[in-house]
Amino acid sequence: MSEYFPIYVDNAHATTYRNAPEFDAWLDAMRGWRAGECVGPVPVAPDLTKCLQVWLGDKLVSHTTPSMWKYDIRGADLSTQDPKVAHLLVSSATTTGRWSRIGCTLPGESVPLHDATEAQVAMALSLMRQLGINRGKCNDHVTDAIGDMLRDASTRIVQYLQSATINGSGDQQ
Name which of 42, 6, 23, 38 is nearest 164 in CA terms.
38
Examine the pLDDT at 35 and tell me if it is beyond 70: yes
Would residue 154 count as lying in a domain? yes
Element (H, E) at 24: helix 21-35
* Lowest-confidence pick of 69-73, 136-140, 165-169: 165-169
Query: Which pLDDT score, from 0 to 100, does residue 172 have?
Result: 46
Average pLDDT estimate for 126-153: 88
Would residue 147 count as lying in a domain? yes
Name which of 25, 42, 26 is nearest 34 in CA terms.
42
The three-class DSSP label of residue 140 is helix
Percent above pLDDT 90 for the chain: 27
Name which of 104, 107, 102 is nearest 80 in CA terms.
107
Query: Which pLDDT score, from 0 to 100, does residue 105 have?
Result: 87
Query: Is the model more confident about 154 or about 4?
Result: 154
Would residue 122 count as lying in a domain? yes
Query: Which pLDDT score, from 0 to 100, does residue 95 have?
Result: 55
Average pLDDT estimate for 30-37: 90
What domain range is 139 assigned to? 115-167
Query: Which pLDDT score, from 0 to 100, does residue 22 have?
Result: 96
pTM comes to 0.74
CA distance 22 to 101: 21
CA distance 104 to 69: 12
Query: Which pLDDT score, from 0 to 100, does residue 60 have?
Result: 93
Average pLDDT estimate for 25-30: 95
Would residue 157 count as lying in a domain? yes
- Count: domains in the chain: 1
Q: How far is CA 28 from the centre of its chain?
A: 15
Would residue 149 count as lying in a domain? yes
The Cα diameter of the chain in Å comes to 74
